Structure 1
Amino acid sequence: MVLATALSMALSSAVTPAADGIEWQQRRASMSVAGDGFVLHAPGGDRHIPAQPLATHTGSPLFDGLFAMALDDLHKDSVAAIRDDAFDHGQSMPCACFETGEKWHYVWTRDLSYAIDLGLWRINPVRAKASLLFKLSDVREPTAPPGLYPMQDTGSGGSWPISTDRVVWFLGARHLLDDPAFADTVYRALTDTLAQDQHYVFDASMGLYRGETSFLDWREQSYPGWTANDVRFIAQSYALSTNVLHYEALQLAVQMAERRHDPKAADYRIRAGALKAAINTRFWRGDRGLYMSYIGSDGMPIEAYDLLGISLAITSGVADADRARQALANYPAYPAGSPVIWPERADQPIYHNRAIWPFVSAYALRAARVVNDPDRIAHELRSLLRGAALSGSNMENFELLSQRVHVEDGKLSGPVVNSPRQLWSVGGYLDMVIEGVFGLSADGRITPKLPASLLPMLFGDRERISVQLRDQRITLQRPASVNGNLLVASDVEHHGNETVVTLKAIHVDTTPLRLDAPLFAPATPAAPQATRTGSSWKISFSGYGQLYVDGKVIGAIDGQRLVPASTAQQCFSVTRRAGELESLPSPVTCVGPMQRLAGAWPRTWTAPASGRFKATLVYANDHGPINTGITAAVKNLVIACKGAPVQTRPMVMPHSVGMQPSTHVTFDASAGAPCAFSISQGFNMSFLRHFAHYTGGQGGIEGPLNEARMGDLLIAPLTRTAP
């Protein structure tokens, strides 16, 4: 009932902001000029906004005041010390940094890096560099190879390599390379990080990097609910956003290596090109015209999409022009804004689920500029402006249909957590103004792409509007006539530090916003049952859906279906089907031959046939809870088969609830060949010097910890030829 009412209200109240105020679902905000500053009159009360050194001068007091409010929020986020309960026992740590928000007084890698990429690098480059350097660390573990790495923040199953989006650090750092010393530090960290990720998280057979979706790190919100207590699926899956971030890192490596005449440039270029091709091969879902948010370890397509991943694919150039247009057009929108994930989860509270996140909306606006979509540009711009105005700050997130900072909906109420002056929301708002309206891109080009529908609000009766930045002023001149839907540059003049752009109207073909998408996915089913029936497996589950075997769709299943048995291991998963949507996948049920190796290391085994095999280690890792920490156990399984080169495969043992299987590895063996399996030390986040300050769990102040209790080694054939 709550959702039905909210959706009805949202559909009936999509309005364009007026010059001095906005009304939305019986709420109103307005802006008045007070001396050199402003006063925002919002539903939660008045906010006095002081004059700022940077400013916009438009026909809208609301627009000008909200730009000043974002800068005031940024000033409040600029601190001399930071703190977090999980570090130094909550004591302050000196750092001339950006803190994350009013409720978050620390610096996290992804929040900071996205915020800097969204423009904070140009507002305060000194503080941006100091903040980035705070998130960089060398190695304190003497037995580990030295290196310099961005930190993967505490997270799922004990952090990296379950979550692997720490490379987002380079997205922010790439804008600050005019400082030679900082650039040298960036290049060292870049080469070290790419080499480490190549070993531990790159899967050559898929051409992709493993790991969790970037920023969407509350597992039950966007992954199947059964990952709440078992994150192996996440550790072995592949995420669109995280792979695009690795592509961006490789592209940066090409540029920096070439400047240094480093021969590694050629290798980086080859790897970047191959990764781009793999992303387009693996994540593109032609029947939906969308890039999937993540896929399974076996390449299983997942009915899950996220706006950040799609936007990054577009802005990075991973998506070609046709796919970029399709993906943005086919991703749903609602009157209040664009959801960060789709479809939503009916059983989860509001946070990433059923939510708008302003920083993601800012990336979607960037993507809309790439494809010249005035409707989407205007949609994201209005959403960013409306959210800031009605809440009186740049909030972390909003409920999807009402754009409120909190909605009561029983156990599904939310957003569960929210914070004013959230740093990446501040960055997103500033980027909406500086690039989204005035067209200033990161490379210094000024290419406005302004929807004609926003002309009355932004210009009013003015001939010109402008933005004053630290060292330049950009002025937009109203077009002589408006016979189109997109305003672009007609003439550009430079007068000292002022650039005057005369606009002209052009017409571009657009696809209407997708406002009719179904909201919720079907519920995720339980694992199917497999019963041997002669030469087949009878697969049973309750309901109608799709049956997958080893990640490949077999077809529809209505209660049960027979599948021919193989001499190799087979893994079955099901999804529910309702209308056009599939659910998230069930847990897998694996059947077929398997051998257990127990005892001390090294353990020996003789290959029964030639082919490819899968190895999994039963283990327990109780060094932290499932949702946080830095002590995922990361080891190398070393496989030495007679007559063949030694094969070394990284194996991850995340924080667990009791004994469970590790991530699996694959290896090749020939019939009759004796093989010895041994374990060598790997690497985890506790090895970094920075985490000597970590007091929120094990592996921190007491010293590095990269261990798990190991049980049987399980070996199963994946292919088989004659012995």
Structure 2
Amino acid sequence: MLKMICLAVALGTTAGPAAAAADLEFDGRHARAEATGKGGFVLHAADGEVRIAAQPMHSETGSVLFDALFALAQQEMDANRVDAIRDPAFDEGRPVPCPCFQTGARWPYVWTRDMSFAADLALARMDPQRTRQSLRFKLSPARDGRTPGLFVAQDTGSGGSWPISTDRVVWFLAARDLLDDPSFAEDTWQALQGTLAQDRQYAFDASVGLYRGETSFLDWREQTYPGWTAQDVRFIGESYALSTNVLHYQALRLAERLARERADSRAKQYAQWADALRTRIDQRFWREDAGQYMSYLGPAGARTADGAATTLLPVAKYDLLGLSLGVLAEVFPAERARRALQGYPATAAGSPVVWPQEADQPIYHNRAIWPFVSAYALRAARQLDDAPRIALEIESILRGAALAGSNMENYEMLSQAVHVDDGKLSGPVVNSQRQLWSVAGYLAMVREGVFGVMPDGRVAPKLPASLVPALFGARERITLDEGKHRYVLVRPARIEGELLVAGQVETQGEQTVVQLVARHDTASAPPQPAERFAPATPAAPVVAAAGKAWRVTVGADEVLWRDGIAQPAGTTQFALAPGMATCLRLTRRKGALESLPSPETCVGAEAQLQGAGHWQWTPPRAGVWRARLRYENLHGPINTGVTAAVKQLRVQCDGQPDQRLAVTMPHSVGPQDSTQVEFRAGPGACRITLEEGFNMSALAHFAHYTGGQGGRDGVVNDARVLGLTLVPLPVVEAAR
């Protein structure tokens, strides 16, 4: 059982401003900080001593530990400033000149996702020049000789990267605060045009109104997706992630803004796309029975009877980053946003990045706290005036750095330890000191979370009253000195309320003084459920013919999903209209928790066309059809690379306009099916051909990739196509 001393005591309610030490205890581990004079500190962390030099910025609070850890974050930020970067998968691991930020002690490279979130949290404001240089490293033209424009690179990833992973648009979240440089602003505008057009063509599903692709940052497949995706990432490529769609929304809003500034006629189109996407995010991801926005939605592939909507499979997995990004982007209605954030589960150590946990997976994203995500949750809680969540995230970010002696990549969610022995489930499996986005999250926690210094220059503190004893001690005021400006928070004489906000604000020269006033907050403390693990994922449904019907085996604790629609309890048999098809999955429920979905079992009519790229076919009836390629892509392993094969399926049917549909064939373990596409056909003949597409190996950036195919050896966008499967799209009575 966790042993914790309340942070208000553990940080040291010091006897006065001259106090020189403070203690923290949690789960049987201790941390202590001492001021050494001239702005320096010694941190006695759980596993050793860390000496911290005086830094350009400093805080003066009632907690020496708080002040020491703010200096530590700056020291670690400086340690991540490098003149060259390297990674074993690029240029054979040789140094690449780049006056950039590296990702962390174990990750001496620049990665799109890490750098972008770190920039958005703090680095864009603390070191704009180096941040711009780091971000520019991830921009690239194409090298295929036929694709003009500038693009953001999606790093190596699941199934051969983009468009299985599509969160490269996070780059634009970082760029927003760096556009005062005209040259960088122009690069951003060019990259927006190219990247958004490409994602619209290859990742956007018009029938659903959402972008496909993996959850942002949660990119270790079986940690958060069903375990069976470890060997087949098609489900991930066909799914729709909350976090990634919110990032697309933010990119579209930035494109709208820059287009308007340039009097570009596309501003209206970007605005329309953004408005529609915001509506779809709220409609599709909200799960009323859980009071949460789902982390991702699975493919289902049926149409409502009126043809107005495509069904999707709701998945009982929730993630803190997607939720926080949605709150901050204001894509959720206020009441739902507040309900979801207040209801997101926590532990005494903080907020885990996903919920519920998977009992058969080791600690990494599963069963873990990530400080940079906690920093986004802190931002979201401030936006919603949620005092208990604000306090929880501030405490968690500070405690983790204090006990570890560094701003680590992640922590186990109960003990907040950097490693927990649990047999084959031990972890976090991978961890790193001075992880860049964790460092940035800490800096954001101090500047925004405590002192209320906002990216736009406003000073808007929202400090939980519960933290006043720890942060003020016997002091009347606490100070953040950033060199060019000094921010002072003055506590009220009496505290009658849960949240301290700005009352009178007075700026004179290089100093802003904020008189805090208390107000009441009705938010409740985050829930700490006793049951943390989802039920085990069932095997695929077993279906057998039963006369003119079909019989399916469903366990007493299982739920049958037919084409994305939960069937009534006890359903074990169903009829199927002649010439139609249907797909089934199972989940398992235990109390309020539900498992991830099983693999699907499909039955009914289908057409199998042999061949590698040209097919002739006459549909038996007019309607909407689903198509998947049978293929094999052995150009890289299932977990990394840049050679997911991306093509366009051109469908020419009598009486119908030409249809071009993006299809992805990710790295495979033997033959498997591609991502699905939908097209309208009939009643005449159809000619179906496979045409060239685009993948990440076509970017000049990856000419330096030496960790697999599609790098120095040139563009590789190919798979061995074995045939084409065509299935009539099922029709259902209602969609979720």
Q: TM-score range by the shorter chain?
A: over 0.9
| Residues in 1 aligned to 2:468 and 2:6: alpha-carbon distance in whole angstroms | 17
Gaps of 5+ in 2: 13-21, 301-311
Alignment of 1:502-581 (within 5 A): 502-516=515-529, 518-542=531-555, 544-557=557-570, 561-567=572-578, 568-581=580-593
The letter for the 1-side match of 2:363 is: I
1:712 maps to which of 723, 728, 733: 723
- Equivalent position of 1:3 in the other structure: none
Deviation at 1:98, TM superposition (A): 0.5
How far 1:566 moved relative to its partner?
3.0
- List aligned pairs for 1:466-477, cutoff 5 A: 466-477=479-490
Q: CA deviation at 1:470?
A: 5.0
Deviation of the 1:565 alpha carbon: 1.4
Structure 1 contact 480–504 (Cα < 8 Å) conserved:
no
Q: Give the Cα–Cα distance (whole angstroms) in 1 for the partners of residues 352 and 34 of structure 2.
A: 31
Residue in structure 1 matched with residue 173 of structure 2 by the alignment? 171
User: In the alignment, which of 626, 645, 652 is matched to residue 633 of structure 1?
Assistant: 645
Corresponding residue of 1:90 = 93
Q: Distance in 1 between matches of 2:419 and 2:706?
A: 32
Deviations along 1:608-656, whole A, 9 cap, x unmatched?
Answer: 1011111111000000000000000000000011221100000000000
2:708 maps to which of 690, 697, 705: 697
Deviation at 1:564, TM superposition (A): 1.8
- Following superposition, the deviation at residue 720 of structure 1 comes to 8.3
1:117 counterpart residue number: 120
In the aligned structure 2, how far is the partner of 1:190 from the partner of 1:329? Answer: 34
**Alignment CA distance shift 1:720-1:228 (3 Å):** closer
Comparing 12-21 and 547-556, the one that deviates more: 12-21
User: Secondary structure at the residue paired with 1:215?
Assistant: coil
Aligned residues of 2:342 and 2:526 also touching (Cα < 8 A): yes
Q: How does 1:211-250 map to 2 (within 5 A)?
A: 211-250=213-252
* Structure 2 residue 685 is matched with structure 1 residue 683: no
| Contact kept in structure 2, 1:355 and 1:415, CA below 8 Å | yes
Could you say if the C-alpha distance between residues 646 and 348 of structure 1 is closer, same or farther in structure 2, counting changes exceeding 3 Å?
same
> How big is the shift at 1:543?
5.1
Aligned counterpart, 1:280: 282
Amino acid at match of 1:230: D
Alignment of 1:606-685 (within 5 A): 606-671=618-683, 673-685=684-696
Q: Which residue of 2 aligns with 1:162?
A: 164
Unaligned 5+ segments in structure 1 are 1-7
Cα shift at 1:14: 5.1
Match of 2:49 in 1: 46
| 2:111 corresponding residue in structure 1 | 108
**Residue 192 of structure 1: aligned partner:** 194
Letter in 2 for 1:146: P
Look up the equivalent residue of 1:239 and give its one-letter code.
Answer: A
Among 494, 507, 521, the alignment partner of 1:481 is 494
> What is the rounded CA distance, in whole Å, between the counterparts of 2:69 and 2:176 in structure 1?
28
Match of 2:18 in 1: none
1:681-721 residue CA offsets vs partner (Å, 9 max, x unmatched): 00000000010000000000110100000011111111589
Give the 3-state SS of the residue equivalent to 1:627 in structure 2. coil
1:9 aligns with 2:20: no
Quick one: distance in 1 between partners of 2:56 and 2:147?
Answer: 47
Whether the 8 Å contact between 1:548 and 1:555 is mirrored in structure 2 is no
| Selected match of 2:456 from 443, 446, 452 | 443
The answer to whether the aligner puts 1:256 opposite 2:258 as a matched pair is: yes
CA contact (8 A) 2:2 2:26 kept: no
Picking from 350, 375, 384, the partner of 1:371 is 384
How many residue pairs end up in the alignment?
709
Deviations 1:98-125 (A, max 9, x none): 0011111111100000000001111110
Match of 1:603 in 2: 615
Equivalent of residue 359 in structure 1, options 362, 372, 375: 372
Match among 301, 309, 313 for residue 314 of structure 2: 301
Q: Give the distance between the partners of 1:38 and 1:600, measured in 2 at CA.
A: 67
1:21 is paired with a residue of what secondary structure? strand
Shift of residue 60, structure 1, vs aligned partner = 1.1
Equivalent-residue separation in structure 2 for 1:180 and 1:98 (angstroms): 22
Mapped to 1, the partners of 2:530 and 2:549 lie a distance apart of: 39
Please give the secondary structure, in 1, of the residue aligned with 2:175. Answer: helix
Matched residue type, 2:601:
T
Q: Which of 295, 316, 324 is matched with 1:311 structurally?
A: 324
Give how far 1:556 is off.
2.6
Given the two structures, how large is their TM-score scaled by the length of structure 2?
A: 0.95
Give distance in 2, aligned partners of 1:245 and 1:422.
Answer: 22
**Counterpart-to-counterpart distance in 2, 1:599 and 1:93:** 44
Aligned pairs for 1:413-452 (under 5 A) are 413-452=426-465
* TM-superposition CA deviations, 1:287-306 (whole Å, max 9, x none): 11100000112211000000
1:58 is displaced (CA, Å) by 1.2
How far apart, in 2, do the equivalents of 1:517 and 1:175 lie? Answer: 41
**Alignment partners' CA distance in 1, 2:6 and 2:597:** 35
